[in-house]
Structure 1
Amino acid sequence: MPSSIRPLVAGNWKMNGLAAHLSELQTMATGFEDASGGAAEALICVPATLIDRAVKSVAGSDFAIGAEDCHVEEKGAHTGDISAEMIADCGASYVIVGHSERRTNHGEDDATVAQKAKAGWRAGLTAIICVGETEAQRKAGETLDILERQIAGSVPAEANAENTVVAYEPVWAIGTGLTPTVEDVAEAHTHIRSRLVEALGEAGQSVRILYGGSVKPANAAELMAVQNVNGALIGGASLKADDFLGIAAVYSG
């Protein structure tokens, strides 16, 4: 892993958060640099209803705000959908695409995820492309094959460290309290790195690979120390400032 890769501590609020929760976000933004020792970058991806207000609430800090999904088109007759351009217009700088909950609940395939990543780029957003296996796939010994297929199908050939982050989230570990072993995480992230280099060439060496799946302050130090783990994509623990900053603190040295 190139030493120049700066870790990213990212949160995904999912379908959580009202205006009253922005005070937690402000606490995160004001405390993150001290918590991380300035060694990492911070991002929270919020529901579309909060993007504009979240951006304003962290104004003046280096704390980034992102969205949780986008439509592939710039505009059109897509009632209820939100384009990447609309997200960027609110001041966000990232968008999550291909989260397992989108793949499962909305039937999104690898090709759709790649299209959404390109839509994010079109609007000037960095795409966080999620990959990961289900419990059944892991038990069948298919983890590395699934990751290889998802990388090949979901990560466009034009991806690089500036426009793309990859997040490995074993589906069976999301919100369950279950966590892969350090050895499991190392194997998955090494495989993802090798597939990115194979697909993107030298650019694949610098793309950040985040680990997600029941990350919390108690296990963050062990997980973030794994080779090719360049940060975290945090679910439930990103809703509370104390938990989020506790995870960031693993980078304070």
Structure 2
Amino acid sequence: MTPALRPLLAGNWKMNGTASALATLDAIAEGITRLPDVFDTLLCTPATLVHRAASAAKASRIQIGGQDCHTGQAGAHTGDVSADMLADCGAHFVIVGHSERRADHAETDGLVCRKAQAAIASGLTAIICIGETGGEKAEGKTLAVVERQLLKSVPDSATAQNVVIAYEPVWAIGTGLTPTVEDVASVHRFIRDHLAARFGAEGAGMRLLYGGSVKGANAHELMAIDHVDGALVGGASLKADDFLAIARAFPALAKA
């Protein structure tokens, strides 16, 4: 982890969860209270649950976020959700540029940047996702892809307070595969150097999350890597026991 940065454990429920899933949020919130207050915890729920989740989590250490937002704050965009709407529902964060949005909805780096700008304008923290595909990795293009996405997806208005970067190698998401410790360390060091060169102290202070098949069994090893300041967790965030198994890695690291 990066010294002096408070880690962030973020869960992405994706297109999962109805009202009954709030019981999982309650169980996670209860489990988090039993752990030392040395890290932040976030759950990004479907838009249909953001308001109820924010209400349920109000007295807990859990913060709530959205999973996407439109570039505009209002307008004739049937079915879309604006950053203002998420903030009004009680969200504090929003994920933008997740690989599933980039792939399924053909989202470009430029569009991701505009979404991040909209999130920042609404007072939300944007979690900007980046990462290479399996094909790009095989061609040795990992750092080139990461650099391009950082340059074009991260707005000039980014600060340590309003932007978090999540590195999620696409080939590792939901597959059970994870990069080697050396590979994660190399990419996160590259990201940190890039952000520090572009944004100075603000870039040095941005939290960098790793995502891609993070689970209780590997969380401590992954979170102990330099410049890995937390995790963006998919499937394992849908079950309280699985998510809390990851959370237990953070207090142990704080003591190291």
TM-score category by the smaller chain? Answer: over 0.9
Amino acid at match of 2:33: E
The alpha carbon displacement at 1:34 in A equals 2.0
* Equivalent residue number for residue 49 of structure 1: 48
Query: Which whole-Å CA distance do the structure 1 matches of 2:69 and 2:122 have between them?
Result: 11
The alpha carbon displacement at 1:62 in A equals 2.3
* Equivalent residue number for residue 202 of structure 1: 201
The alpha carbon displacement at 1:140 in A equals 0.1
Query: Which whole-Å CA distance do the structure 1 matches of 2:204 and 2:123 have between them?
Result: 22
Conserved in 2, the CA contact under 8 Å of 1:177 and 1:214?
Answer: yes
Query: Which whole-Å CA distance do the structure 2 matches of 1:154 and 1:103 have between them?
Result: 12
- Residues 45-79 of structure 1 show CA distances to partners (whole Å, capped at 9, x for unaligned) of 00001001101111211210000000000100000
Query: Which whole-Å CA distance do the structure 2 matches of 1:162 and 1:62 have between them?
Result: 18
* Equivalent residue number for residue 218 of structure 1: 217
* Equivalent residue number for residue 79 of structure 1: 78
Structure 1 outlier segments of 4+, above 3 Å: none
The alpha carbon displacement at 1:192 in A equals 0.6
Task: Say whether residues 1:146 and 2:130 are aligned partners.
Answer: no
Query: Which whole-Å CA distance do the structure 2 matches of 1:2 and 1:215 have between them?
Result: 19
Query: Which whole-Å CA distance do the structure 2 matches of 1:205 and 1:65 have between them?
Result: 25
Aligned length: 252
Q: Secondary structure at the match of 2:15?
A: coil
Query: Which whole-Å CA distance do the structure 1 matches of 2:107 and 2:69 have between them?
Result: 12
* Equivalent residue number for residue 21 of structure 1: 21
Q: Secondary structure at the match of 2:232?
A: strand
Query: Which whole-Å CA distance do the structure 2 matches of 1:97 and 1:72 have between them?
Result: 10
* Equivalent residue number for residue 166 of structure 1: 165
Q: Secondary structure at the match of 1:82?
A: coil
* Equivalent residue number for residue 102 of structure 2: 103
Between 1:49-58 and 1:227-236, the stretch displaced more is 49-58
Conserved in 1, the CA contact under 8 Å of 2:98 and 2:128?
Answer: yes
Conserved in 1, the CA contact under 8 Å of 2:2 and 2:229?
Answer: no
Amino acid at match of 2:26: Q
TM (norm. structure 1) is 0.98
Query: Which whole-Å CA distance do the structure 2 matches of 1:203 and 1:55 have between them?
Result: 28
Q: What percent identity do the matched residue pairs reach?
A: 56
* Equivalent residue number for residue 114 of structure 1: 113
Q: Secondary structure at the match of 2:34?
A: helix
- Residues 79-112 of structure 1 show CA distances to partners (whole Å, capped at 9, x for unaligned) of 0000000000000100000000001111111111
The alpha carbon displacement at 1:33 in A equals 3.4
Conserved in 2, the CA contact under 8 Å of 1:2 and 1:205?
Answer: no
Conserved in 1, the CA contact under 8 Å of 2:2 and 2:227?
Answer: no
Q: Secondary structure at the match of 1:119?
A: helix
Amino acid at match of 1:142: K
Query: Which whole-Å CA distance do the structure 2 matches of 1:32 and 1:210 have between them?
Result: 19
The alpha carbon displacement at 1:38 in A equals 1.3
CA RMSD, 1 decimal:
0.9
Query: Which whole-Å CA distance do the structure 2 matches of 1:123 and 1:193 have between them?
Result: 26
Conserved in 2, the CA contact under 8 Å of 1:152 and 1:199?
Answer: no
Query: Which whole-Å CA distance do the structure 1 matches of 2:155 and 2:58 have between them?
Result: 32
In the alignment, structure 1 segments of 5+ residues that lack a partner are none
Query: Which whole-Å CA distance do the structure 1 matches of 2:197 and 2:105 have between them?
Result: 30
Query: Which whole-Å CA distance do the structure 2 matches of 1:150 and 1:209 have between them?
Result: 14
Query: Which whole-Å CA distance do the structure 1 matches of 2:60 and 2:49 have between them?
Result: 17
Query: Which whole-Å CA distance do the structure 1 matches of 2:158 and 2:30 have between them?
Result: 32
In the alignment, structure 2 segments of 5+ residues that lack a partner are none
- Residues 14-50 of structure 1 show CA distances to partners (whole Å, capped at 9, x for unaligned) of 0001111110101111221323x21110000000010
Query: Which whole-Å CA distance do the structure 2 matches of 1:51 and 1:26 have between them?
Result: 14
